[in-house]
Each structure stands twice: as structure tokens, then as C-alpha cells.
Amino acid sequence: MNNNLKMNWVVWNELRRYLLLPFLRIYFLVKGIPWESDWRILGTPIIQKCRNSKIRFGSGLIMRSWVSSNPVAPYHPVFISTRIEAAEIRIGDNCGITGGSIIAAERIDIGDRVLIGGNCLITDTDFHPLDKSARFQDPKNITSKPVIIADDVFIGAQSILLKGTEIGAGSIIGAGSVVSGKIPPHVVAAGNPAVIIRKLD
């Protein structure tokens, strides 16, 4: 017997997932996101897609929004948001996301086989101007810079990736890290701010 089927909570989640499928297909259609038949969507994500912006999910996507869908226990459903018409979010093939938020005012590009741990925040914008007067006079005058995550990256739970972050292929970001800048390929980085801990073979 499949080990997963020995856990009652897995069986229950799969049953709920199948019952939710018809609604999810309509939900993604309304959002203008093409549905892939091999997706495993556990719980309805929150998708805020600005008109004319672009959101693309690759094949093999696993998205966990129910609290019971992962022992890490998402704080809230997966949240995907484009803030302006020119914004783009692209998530490659065979990626996994548990709770957390991905928010783009410019561009977030996530490669293939990227695993995003529970309750992470990935954003390419500051959301508000840094200058105190501008925050009230011109709150939409914000700074954004693309976030690029290469193939085979693992991002530990509750990490925060800020604007301008670039993570090289095969690297690991330790849980609870805050990343702002460039992380080279095939390293382990962790901390606030994240620094390289060691290289991977």
C-alpha cells in the first residue's frame, strides 16, 4: 500500500481535492490562467490578477492552502497577486507552494522544480515609499525590482524574499531567512540578512 494512503489525513485531503476540482477549474478560467490536468491544488488559493497582467503556472504544480494539507500548517491560503497591468508572475514546472504569498509589481520568475516552504513571502516591491512624506502624498510611487529564482531551489519555511533577490540554481535558503540580493548557485544561505553558510556538492 502507498505510504501516503496509510495516513487518514492524506486520504481525506485527496477526497476534498477531487470534490473541489470543478470549482477550481472555473475559478482559474475566470482569472485567465490556463488549467493543467496534472496540478494538485489542495484548497482554493487567493488570486488577485490585475487586468492585463500575466500569471503562468507550469505543469506538475502542487499548491497547498488548507491548514490540514501540510504539517507545517499554512497560516492562510496561497496568495498570488499582480499589482499593476505590466506585472508578471511565472512559476515553472513541478513546483510546490505551501501557503504564503507571491506578490509582483514588476516581475517574479520562478524556475522548474522549486519548492517554496510553508508561509513564505516573495515580493518584488517595497509596497510603500521609504520617504515618510511620500507615503502619504504619493503612496503609489514605490520601488520595484524583479525577483529571479532559478531551477531546483528550495526555500525554507517562513522565509522572506525581497525585491531584487536572485537565487542561483540548486541553492537552499534556510527557514526563516530574509533574502535581499544575489545568492549564487549550489549553496546553503540562511539568516537575516541571509549569508552563505556553505557550498553544496
> Could you tell me if 116 and 98 are in contact, meaning their C-beta atoms sit under 8 angstroms apart?
yes
Range 4-28 burial, b when 16+ CB lie within 10 A, else e: eeeeeeeeebeeebeebeeebeebb
Cα–Cα dist 109/147, whole Å: 6
The residue written with cell numbers 489525513 in the block is 9
Q: What's the longest Cα–Cα distance across the chain?
A: 63
Which of 107, 196, 96 shows the shortest CA–CA distance to 152?
Answer: 96
Catalytic residue among 128, 143, 154, 188: 128
Is residue 186 part of the annotated active site? The answer reads no
Cα–Cα dist 201/183, whole Å: 16
190 sits in which H/E element: strand 187-191
Catalytic residue numbers read 128
